[in-house]
Amino acid sequence: MKDSESGDRLGSYLRARRELVSPAQAGLPPGGNRRVPGLRREEVALLAGISPDYYLRLERGRDKNPSPQVLESLARVLQLDDIERAYLLGLAAARPRAPRRKRPEHVPARVHELLTHLQIPAFVEGRAFDVLASNPMAVALSPRLRPGQNRLRSLLLDPEEQAFHQDWTKATADFIAALRITIGDDTDNPRFVELVGELALSSQRFRTLWARHDVRSLDGGTTTVHHPVVGELRLHRDKLPIDDVILVVYYPDKDSDSDEKLRLLAALSLTESASTAHDRPSDTPHPRTL
């Protein structure tokens, strides 16, 4: 994986978070001639109650086993939330592992069956946001939810997907932060290495957000999207882990405007499918007229 993360992820994370905390946020006078964004190393050390030399060793990867007490102090100074704090503690606890071979993610047969029964947009995604399976309503909601697509790649590189999201800026920040927490210490996973490398080369937005080292959980929530046919939809999202994959469902409030629009989208999808089937040439020869 690019940069020093795989070998010195703790130091990289501390450095990135330090640069995001202003002196005013830390209760310090702004001062003049500051050459670095955010806090200086010595300021972090002072506020955390550790020596500047020891903090420098942490950032430079010379000490990768700080005590939980030191990490808790740093989390407080860097104003980390609960998810970020847990991530920091996990970085210090991580241990090197042997490289893993790429293993395809498998969608259980019962999940394929479940998708056919759901009347709301539903699909299965892997750890790297690869779409592994989906139902017709998901594809009607967005063609980028077909199997074989990658949700993060589409979000960053596909203009139609960018227009689809009401708040594209927030969506990209959430997805990239969720990817980092999903990767965790699995930095040698070939799929993660491949995806991060591809997006780092092709998307400035990805490079900017990846360098921040944000971490965020992307589970339940509510989003607003702009569908090119039925217009604006306000949908709730739930993610349900099943074995090694995740079932994602989108649904509106019952009897809401979005509920009505989603029903219309379902009807249009059925009509289009029937029309396509009718226009498709039959493989069965017509019987001869006697």
Query: What CATH number does the domain located at 9-93 have?
Result: 1.10.260.40
Kindly write down the DSSP assignment for every residue of 160-176, as one continuous string. HHHHHBTTHHHHHHHHH
pLDDT at 249: 97
For the stretch 211-241, pLDDT in tens is: 999 999 888 889 999 999 999 999 999 999 9
For the stretch 93-130, pLDDT in tens is: 765 555 555 567 899 999 999 999 999 999 999 999 99
Comma-separated ranges of CATH 1.10.260.40 domains in the chain: 9-93
pLDDT at 290: 29
At 35, give phi and psi (nearest 5°): -95, -5
pLDDT at 88: 92
> Virtual CA dihedral for 159, 198, 136, 175, nearest 10 degrees?
-80
Kindly state the greatest CA–CA separation across the chain. 99
Query: What CATH number does the domain located at 109-277 have?
Result: 3.30.450.180
pLDDT at 102: 59
3-state secondary structure 44-107: HHHHHCCCHHHHHHHHCCCCCCCCHHHHHHHHHHCCCCHHHHHHHHHHHHCCCCCCCCCCCCCC
Comma-separated ranges of CATH 3.30.450.180 domains in the chain: 109-277
pLDDT at 250: 97
> Virtual CA dihedral for 220, 221, 225, 231, nearest 10 degrees?
100
Cα 115 from Cα 129, distance rounded (Å): 18
What strands, in cross-sheet order, belong to the sheet with 221-227?
A: 131-134, 122-125, 245-251, 231-242, 221-227
The low-confidence residues of the chain, meaning pLDDT below 50, are: 2-4, 6-7, 284-290
